[in-house]
Structure 1
Amino acid sequence: MLNKSKNMKSLTKSIIKLSVIVGLMQSNLVLAKDYLVKNQSEYKKASKKLEAGDKVILANGTWKNFEVVFQGQGSENQPITLQAETKGEVFLTGNSNLRLSGEYLVVSGLVFKDGYSPTSEVISFRRNKENLANHSRVTEVVIDNFSNPDKYDQDKWVVMYGKHNRFDHSYLAGKRNAGVTMTVRLNSEDSQENYHRIDHNYFGPRPILGSNGGETLRIGTSHYSLTNSFTTIENNYFDRCDGEVEIISNKSGKNKIVNNVFYESRGTLTLRHGNGNLVEGNVFFGNGKDHTGGIRVINADQIIRNNYMEGLTGYRFGSGLTVMNGVPNSSINRYHQVNNALITNNSLINVDHIQLAAGSDAERSAAPINSKFQNNLIVHNENKDGFTLFDDISGINFSANQLHNVNKPTISSGFKSANVELKRASNGLLYPVDETFAKMGIDKSVSPITKAEVGPSWYAKKEPLVQFDSGKTITVYPGEDALIDAVKTANDGDVIYLTPGQYTVSKTLFLTKVLTFKGDKDKVDVVFQRKTLFTIEDKGSLKISGLNISGKEAPDSAGNVLISNTKLPTIYNFRLEILDSKISDLDVNHSFHVFDSGYRAFADEIVIKNSQFTNITGDILRLNKELDDLGIYNAEYVTLDNNVFRDVEGTIANLYRGGTDESTFGPHFIMTNNKLKQVGNGKRNKSKAVMTIHGAQVTNIENNVFSMTPAIVINHTVGEPQTVIKNNTFDQATEINVVELNVDGPHTAILENNSFKKTTSK
């Protein structure tokens, strides 16, 4: 009885204690408040009295020039929340940003667009250097084209400081100015060994920047690269992230980069600095797009396991799989030697290039050591293995790797070759049909995340570009202001169709839209009376098809131009196409150019095909405005195909990319099947060249006829420029001049089967 009485008393005490705890919890829950705020003044008032469990709700609508400071001390079970009244219906515009500091904070449902941050960060997990955020979460947030209008004024969209923070299910797309899209900083002890998590985000299209500084995600910096971060990057979707050669730039240790998808993204997941990182279960779909890459390995103790790479075309530092050479006794910001890398069970399907000991030169002379390359599956439709060896690879042990029908493997030991038939599984990946190869390559358990599974479900994932000819057709007839009026009423993607006849244009056509001007070939004549016919401004792109354009009525002044960019720097890349057209009589005065790029303007592509250019006193393409030698240039792809150029006093192209930076893939200059006669001989052509291509990474000049033209000048600067000049006819034309400006020794251009004659026909 005594024991029973004691037990009853003990039970009673426990019940009382439990009741007190429940009561306290209920009391705390009752005290938590919701604040619906409708303007910045109300927000500031509410933000000063936030306690654990409170919610601040921003009313639906547009909040312009709102610099949000969100701080407080929440708890694990009762975080402090900042949220939209309705997800996706609260817009922060103009000069707006968000800073968090404190513990257990949650932000959700906001959209940043139509503006840019007045500071260097749009979303920052700190208020200042002393006040960081920890155990906090930003989820379902959108940053859409929220770019500084000064293209080379760097900022960052999301910066993580502190520890144990999470950024997830968000949308980041359209960053057009310099600076990494998202980064993790380790610049103080309070932000190191942080255990952040970055997951289920949509990293949408990032256009080519045209210089260094266009990474999508960076973890750490070189200064703290020997420090561990313990950040996890998982289940994110990188969609056409083309900013520069590094999509993810890992610059710290002990990170996990797992189960991400890279779709048609130019560049690589780069282990640039830091040791002991895990790269596992990632999927790369290149689909044959130019410069699509996979994984680049540098430093010590890296594990690259169970990754899938398909349809990748990249080479050099952007190849499907690159293992770098290091610098002996490297400084912290250069290239540490690859040591103890494990590269295992990866599938490389139709990967054009696998590069080992890449970057080998007088400085980068430390080849990989103590490393393993095993159980990898390499299948290519062209029955090749794709390997290029740049230095000693004896420090890599190769074992149990499988090739597909390669008669003479580049590496003799550690590889078997057989017919490997593949079949696409329900997860979208290719696997061997024969179970003999089941242990080779990626595991069948991998389930690539889809675009639909990432980002906020309530925000549409938009296409980055409006395509030419994708809108309606606007038919115009010869008459005063016909084209001017059509431009005013047209929308992006529209075609302005010119019916047969002559059009006289009395004003410059300023383009802020993607427009096509089209006519039936040889039936439409256009003359213009201003210094410039077309000016491409921000958001504008131009396609000309089937027009005869004459400059005979342009003002009698030097320096006229048919097409130009606005004189102000632009943030949006543009496109220019001239097809099946005739451009003539740009000769009322000297230096009358066809296209003259603006300073800090950038073309994704310039295409000129099946067209004729005659009687021109200036240049065809002036792409030479970036003379500050910072690795910046004016066009990524320039294509001239099947054109006739006759009596052009200036150059066909003056293309310039200066500096020594290696973070870009371009420019690309492609010139095929053209006929040139009396081009480049004008007295104001100071270059004394038919073209000057300076710093291009890819140059192809093939099957052209040059009659009575001066020299072709190609200047190789940095990287490993690929120059091919072959099957051309030179009739009373001077030499091909290829110069290596930064490397001793003979040039690396391929000059083949070019024919030189001393006479020319009339």
Structure 2
Amino acid sequence: MTNNLGRSARPFLRHRLLLVALAALSTHLYAADLLVATPEEYAQAAKAAKPGDTIVLKDGEWRDFDLLLRGRGQTGKPIRLTAQTPGKVVLTGQSRLRLAGRHLEVSNLIFRDGHAPGGEVIAFRRSSTDWAEDSRVTGIVIHGYSKPDRSQSDHWVALYGRNNRFDHSQLSGKTNLGSTLVVVRNETSGLENHHRIDHNWFGPRPNLGSNGGETIRIGTSRDSLSDSRTLVENNWFEHCDGEVEIVSSKSGGNIYRGNVFFESRGSLVLRHGNGNLVERNVFIGNGKPHTGGVRVINRDQVVRDNYFQGLAGDGFAAALTVMAGTRNAPLNRYGQVENAVIERNSFIDVRSVFLGAGTDEERNAAPVGSTIASNLFIGTGKRELLRTLGDLSGIAFRDNVQSPRASGGFPGGVQGREVTLQRAANGLQHPLELEGVGAPRDLQFIARRAVGVDWYPKTAERVALDGGRTLEVAPGEDSLGTALAASGPGDRLQLGAGRYVVTRTLEVAHPVSVVGPTRGTARIAFSRPVLFDLQRGGSLRLARLDIDGALAPDQAGNAVVRIAPGSQATNYELRIEDSRIHGLSVNAGFDLINAGKGSMADLIALHRVEVADVSGAVLSAAAETDDLGTYNAEHVEIDGSRFRRVAGAVVDLYRGGTDESTFGPELIVRDSVFEDAGRGDAALRLRGVQLAVLDGNRFRRSGDVRFSHRVGDPSLLASRNQFAAGGRILADIPVEAIQ
């Protein structure tokens, strides 16, 4: 009986297997994988694509490719676009990607060696009336794909429409104006968009030196009173230093969860919009200047279960900043903090917590109806942790602990006690004795290796000065220029003792050092108006040199180092050490360093330098007079140097406008001598500088130190300075002693 049933079942089973095979064949026929090798082939494939189809770009370089994926897939059967091999399809030149329709998916592409032809590299729309929904872009790398003019704005990723996802991608090296990733909201496509941004590596973004350098911005002030409901989770923000707002939340109902902010200058800022949630994020600063945490503004914000460690930021970039607002604030101003809940967060080895920040004549609405509860506060021990302005009676403090003692400015609800910390396996520290205070013990953070892609490196790719070869250079006419032309990034030109005559301007387009001998002297004379022309991509170190400008012709714009207007030289370093520079007096405006409009230095440093007989300025960094918040140097250091017979200012540093999106400029002058310097103007002219430190300097027969406030909350710290035969500190803010 069993055998008969088995025999009778065999035809049925064969028929069943045939149906399965036909079904598989049908699926293969209707869900095609189509390899395309040219833009024309791609256009034909994209036009014919059906749900479940995959278009595959052939490995290689695709230059100036306007890539549009437009179609309608189905749930579980998206129309896909991908690379033949992850990491081997590179879009270069002026390429871009646009998506429009529903259920689309793009993956495994690289954008580098160029810049977008318009305002976006990747846009989830074709036009203002044709956008993407329920679509995904994943495994994308955008690396250094910046417009050459940093004042030209674009966004690398622009999310439009609804229910879209951007994930497991790597974006690094943006140097021009505009957010790295932006969520664009409008009533046509729906303000409540429910996007998801997750598992991405937002890599190094250098200081922009102006507003518009956010890594993520969600919404605008215009539509900020409505909810976006975007989820930002499990991303890494590493060395994102573009401006004070790493994340600028300008809408409501968003969730920021499980992200890591690693050594990034600035903060996650709840700038506009209400009812946002910030939870279970980890902020690690490792003492890097201006590393911040969360800034709270507006109504119904919740900040809970987060971990903050080693944050050195202050002011608007403190580990926790609760702002004062404006009553009945316009949409573009600061709304009053109402009903904020800040609970169960750990602040460990942080420089500052700032409550009532920004209080002034306009921002005079103190926080109300808010709670700060069950938080752990541990400062650096170098200064008082808490800074307050205005009335804090609208904040209820409950069950908080500060170690080893509570700051005097805290009202009740903060207990001072010694706390012993224990480091967990993931590196986070928790108090042994306290339950329910500080970040949860089960808080985990996303591993760096789990974000981005595994087929493209997560590197900054920035060559350091003296990171390359050492090239020996002998004295002679134009031998220095020949050696510079043959040098590569990071190389060191080691000069022997003797005289070097330079008859052409030396263009510096990569990091390079020019260093004299330890015995004897390398003397450089130049017969052009400019000795070094520092260009985009360049950095320069000069050490143990004697530079004489006596042979330079009488022409406008004379300088030893020029950063020309329009050069787009940004984020460069210029170091001059253990050198003597003199004879810059052929006309009335010969500068040692002239930083032109549009340029931006990370660092200009003069250490143990002797400068004499200069008809212009030692450092002229005052070209940004449009008062838009831009400036020419982030950090200026002068140490152990001597300046004699300088007609102009030794330092002329300017930052105008009222924008609050930047940290600099900063100036430190220590143990230096000024003789007959700036007598007709000022020895130091500092306008809009955010931090100036003057320590142990001597001024003799020299002009004043002139400091004028332009924006923000600047500090002028001065100690052990001596003035003889004229000169004094003139400032429109109080001068504080150095602690």
Residue in structure 1 matched with residue 482 of structure 2 by the alignment:
485
Contact in 2 for aligned 1:727/1:752 (Cα 8 Å): no
Counterpart amino acid of residue 444 in structure 1: R
Q: CA deviation at 1:162?
A: 1.0
Contact 2:386 2:407 in 1 (8 A): no
The residue aligned with 1:312 is: 311
* Cα distance in 2 between the residues matched to 1:579 and 1:194: 55
1:192 deviates by 2.1
CA offset at residue 572 of structure 1?
3.5
Q: Which of 653, 673, 676 in structure 2 is aligned with 1:675? A: 673
> Which stretch shifts more, 512-521 or 139-148?
512-521
Is residue 696 of structure 2 the alignment partner of residue 708 of structure 1?
A: no
Once the two structures are TM-superposed, the CA of residue 396 in structure 1 deviates from its matched residue by 0.9
Q: 1:437 aligns with which of 416, 434, 437?
A: 434
What are the within-5 Å matches in structure 2 for residues 600-611 of structure 1?
600-611=598-609
Alignment match, 1:664? 662
Q: Under a length normalisation based on structure 1, what TM-score does the superposition of the two structures give?
A: 0.92
Instruction: Tell me how far apart the structure 1 counterparts of residues 123 and 346 of structure 2 sit (CA, whole Å).
Output: 38
Q: Does 1:210 align with 2:196?
A: no
Q: Does 1:641 align with 2:639?
A: yes
Match of 2:535 among 528, 534, 537: 537
- 1:291-330 correspondence to structure 2 within 5 Å: 291-330=290-329
* 1:663 alignment partner, SS class: coil
Q: Which amino acid aligns with 1:455?
A: G
Provide closer, same or farther for how the CA distance between residues 38 and 408 of structure 1 changes in structure 2, counting only shifts above 3 A: closer
Residues in 2 aligned to 1:188 and 1:17: alpha-carbon distance in whole angstroms: 52
1:504 aligns with 2:501: yes
In structure 1, distance between residues paired with 2:377 and 2:616: 51
C-alpha spacing 1:334/1:557, structure 2 compared with 1 (3 Å): closer
CA distance in 1 between counterparts of 2:737 and 2:384 reads 27
Is this contact kept in 1: 2:291–2:313, CA < 8 A?
yes
SS of structure 1 residue aligned to 2:293: strand
Cα deviations by residue, 1:468-519 (Å, 9 ceiling, x for unpaired): 1111111111123321121122111111100111111121110111001111
Identity %: 43
How far off its partner does 1:191 sit?
Answer: 3.5
Contact 1:384–1:405, Cα closer than 8 Å, also in 2: no
Question: Does the aligned pair in 1 maintain the 2:384–2:407 contact within 8 Å?
Answer: no
Aligned to 1:9: none
Task: Give the deviation of 1:398 after TM superposition.
Answer: 0.6
SS at match of 2:368: coil
Q: Cα offset for 1:29?
A: 4.6
Is the partner of 1:423 in helix, strand or coil? Answer: strand
Alignment partners' CA distance in 2, 1:382 and 1:292? 17
Deviation at 1:384, TM superposition (A): 6.5
Matching of residue 730 in structure 1 with residue 723 in structure 2: yes
2:488 alignment partner AA: N
Q: Which amino acid aligns with 2:436?
A: K
User: What does the per-residue CA deviation read over 1:234-287, in whole Å, with 9 as the maximum and x for residues that have no partner?
Assistant: 110000111111000011111110010011111100011111111001111111
* Secondary structure of 1:42's aligned partner: helix
For 2:88, give the aligned amino acid: E
Poorly superposed stretches of 4+, deviation over 3 Å? 16-29, 556-559
> Where does 1:225-624 land on structure 2 (aligned, <5 Å)?
225-382=224-381, 386-406=385-405, 409-432=408-431, 434=432, 436-521=433-518, 523-570=521-568, 572-624=570-622
Partner Cα distance (2:273, 2:554) in 1: 62
The C-alpha deviation readout for 1:359-387, integer Å capped at 9, x for no partner, is 11111111111111111011234187611
Q: Which amino acid aligns with 1:728?
A: N
The one-letter code matched in structure 2 to 1:75 is: Q
Structure 1 CA distance for aligned equivalents of residues 380 and 332 of structure 2: 39
* Distance in 1, Cα, partners of 2:311 & 2:40: 53
Helix, strand or coil: the match of 1:223?
helix
Please give the alpha-carbon distance, in whole angstroms, between the structure 1 residues aligned to 2:382 and 2:495. Answer: 51
State the Cα distance separating 1:611 from its structure 2 match. Answer: 0.9
What does 1:108-123 correspond to in 2, within 5 Å? 108-123=107-122
Name the CA distance, whole Å, in 1 between partners of 2:47 and 2:230.
Answer: 32
Q: Is the 8 A contact 1:473 1:495 kept in 2?
A: yes
> Residue type of the partner of 1:487?
L
Offset of 1:526 from its aligned partner? 1.2
In the alignment, the residues of structure 1 paired with residue 555 and residue 328 of structure 2 have an alpha-carbon distance, to the nearest angstrom, of 60
Aligned residue in 2 for 1:7: none
User: C-alpha distance in 2, partners of 1:286/1:476?
Assistant: 42
1:750 equivalenced with 2:732 (yes/no): no
Q: Deviations over 1:40-85 (max 9, x none)?
A: 1111121111111111111111111111111111112211111111
CA contact (8 A) 2:536 2:569 kept: yes
Aligned twin of 2:152: 153
Matches for 1:149-228 after TM superposition, within 5 Å: 149-228=148-227
**CA distance 1:352–1:567, shift in 2 (3 Å):** closer
Structure 2 spans left out of the alignment, 5+ residues = 1-14
SS in 2 for 1:635: coil
Structure 1 residues 407, 320: closer, same or farther in 2, change over 3 A? closer
Instruction: Quickly say closer, same or farther: Cα 1:572–1:90, change in 2 above 3 A.
Output: farther
1:423 Cα offset (Å): 2.4
SS in 2 for 1:463: coil
CA distance in 2 between partners of 1:354 and 1:752 (Å): 21
Looking at structure 2, the residues matched to 301 and 528 of structure 1 have their Cα atoms a distance apart, in angstroms, of: 64
Q: CA deviation at 1:713?
A: 1.2
Distance apart, 1:451 and its partner CA: 2.0
Q: Any conservation in 2 of the 1:326–1:335 contact (CA below 8 Å)? A: yes
Of 73-82 and 558-567, more deviation after overlay is shown by 558-567
Q: Is the 8 A contact 1:383 1:404 kept in 2?
A: no
Provide closer, same or farther for how the CA distance between residues 381 and 624 of structure 1 changes in structure 2, counting only shifts above 3 A.
Answer: closer
Question: 1:606–1:639: 8 Å Cα contact kept in structure 2?
Answer: yes
User: In 1, Cα distance between the equivalents of 2:402 and 2:540?
Assistant: 46
1:347 and 1:337, CA in 2 relative to 1: closer, same or farther beyond 3 A?
same
Q: Secondary structure at the match of 2:194?
A: coil
Q: Which residue of 2 aligns with 1:92?
A: 91
Letter in 2 for 1:549: I
Q: Which amino acid aligns with 1:748?
A: P
Give 1:734 deviation, angstroms: 2.5
Distance in structure 2 (CA, Å) of the matches to 1:219 and 1:519: 52
What secondary structure is seen at the aligned counterpart in 2 of 1:488? helix
- Name the SS for the 2:634 alignment partner: strand
Q: What is the DSSP-based 3-state SS (H/G/I as helix, E as strand, rest coil) of the residue aligned with 2:43?
A: helix
What SS does the aligned partner of 2:283 have? strand
Q: Give me the whole-angstrom Cα distance separating, in 2, the residues matched to 1:46 and 1:123.
A: 20
On the 8 A contact 1:110/1:142 being kept in 2, the answer is: yes
Q: Secondary structure at the match of 2:477?
A: coil
Calculate the aligned-residue CA RMSD, in Å: 2.0
**Separation in 2, partners of 1:363, 1:617:** 44
* Range 729-738 or range 281-290, more displaced: 729-738
Separation of aligned partners in 2, 1:120 and 1:667 = 29
Question: Which amino acid in structure 2 is aligned with residue 511 of structure 1?
Answer: V
Pairwise CA distance, 1:536 = 0.4
Letter in 1 for 2:389: F
Say whether the 8 Å CA contact 2:173–2:460 is kept in structure 1.
Answer: no
CA contact (8 A) 2:69 2:100 kept: yes
Structure 1: how far apart are the matches of 2:289 and 2:517? 33
Does the 8 Å contact 2:687/2:707 carry over to 1?
Answer: yes
Structure 1 contact 178–213 (Cα < 8 Å) conserved: yes
* Change over 3 Å in CA distance of 1:464–1:737 after alignment to 2: farther
2:489 maps to a residue whose letter is D
What is the TM-score with the length of structure 2 in the denominator? 0.95
Per-residue deviation, 1:171: 0.7
Deviation at 1:395, TM superposition (A): 1.0
